Chains A and B, each alone.
Chain A
Amino acid sequence: MSEMATLDDHRRTARWLALLLLAVGLHIFEASMPNLGPWLKPGLANIVTLLALPLLGVRAACTLALARVVIGALFSGTLLTPTFIISLAGALAATLIMAVAWQALPMFSLVGISLFGAVAHMLAQFVVVEALFIQQHALYYLLPPLLLLSLLTGWINGVIAEYVTRRIGIR
């Protein structure tokens, strides 16, 4: 590895930062949207994590998701509150499983990868809420309808990511 950063390195950094800004913007937009339900968000910021997989690779996608949640919480004033812990757990679980699926399961397009992420996100949030805040197994009665909705939003987000990768020239 040479000492000097190459033009490609700079392009990678610039692309990472551009995606981070996009992700933070979507994160804040989502946080300020009218609530569709207590734990129901379309997960738009996750589209950026999906885009980062083909554009920047697995490691950059993980750092991007982590940075997005922390910076987004700074802007919305929820740092270290329950909201932050829940959204951090969801984003980390989704990103990790999407990264593993992206590497290990090449038969899935970004649509399938997004489904993995959506389900992981919802399950991780429930586990964290049950473990840290509510501590009642009855909480899981809420899970099926929310999982059904997360499959729907996951599919839509994956399709959006597919469209975007086409438009920016990854044929």
Chain B
Amino acid sequence: MLRPTVLPFSEIQPAPVSRPSLPWLGTAADRWLLLLLLLLLAGGSRLLYGELGQGPAMVDIYVGKRPFASYPLGESRRVAVPGEAGETIIDIADNHVQFLSSPCRGQQCVHAGARHAAGEMLVCVPGRIMVTIRGSEARRIDAVAE
């Protein structure tokens, strides 16, 4: 059972090998694939997030390959970061961090808004700036907020 590589045009095409009877359900193989991917994703996230969250809540700022600075999430301050697109302002206030302004064209980092929980992240691709939050206290703040 091989698929026809190209279907003929002059005649009504033969049916491809796998057609679900109801399109939104997919074939049995489609559903197994979805289940497998979901399980892989769940296992992967556990591994990935397991190492996060030690120590106090900190904001880490990276420019390109290098760490630029780390600040406590609890202390309000405004940081000017020399990104590749120019000077970018990052604001830490009220246990939240956000891009206040950026010289980049898309402004997606500014529109992304504020972040507060461990593992959350803000990125400005043109400026090559990444802001991440880590620490168990950031988690507790999150739990209280919810």
A residues at B contact (CB < 8 Å): 7-8, 11-12, 15, 35, 37-38, 54-58, 60, 81-83, 86, 102-103, 105-109, 111-112, 115-116, 119, 129, 133-136, 138-144, 147-148, 151, 155, 158-159, 162-163, 166, 169-171
Number of residues of chain B lying within 8 A (CB) of chain A: 51
Collect the chain B residues with CB atoms within 8 Å of residue A11's CB. Answer: 9
Dominant secondary structure at the B interface: loop
Binds A, one of B17-25, B88-96, B137-145: B17-25
Establish whether residues B27 and A147, one from each chain, have CB atoms under 8 Å apart when the complex forms. no
Establish whether residues B123 and A109, one from each chain, have CB atoms under 8 Å apart when the complex forms. no
Q: How far is the CA of A144 from the CA of B34 in the complex (A)?
A: 15
Establish whether residues B33 and A159, one from each chain, have CB atoms under 8 Å apart when the complex forms. no
Establish whether residues B10 and A7, one from each chain, have CB atoms under 8 Å apart when the complex forms. yes
Q: How far is the CA of A139 from the CA of B30 in the complex (A)?
A: 29
- Can you list 23 residue pairs at the A/B interface with Cβ under 8 Å? A8-B9, A37-B112, A38-B112, A81-B126, A82-B126, A83-B125, A105-B29, A106-B16, A107-B28, A108-B30, A109-B23, A112-B26, A115-B34, A133-B128, A134-B128, A135-B64, A135-B128, A136-B132, A144-B49, A159-B23, A159-B26, A162-B20, A162-B23
Q: How far is the CA of A151 from the CA of B31 in the complex (A)?
A: 12
Collect the chain B residues with CB atoms within 8 Å of residue A135's CB. Answer: 64-65, 128
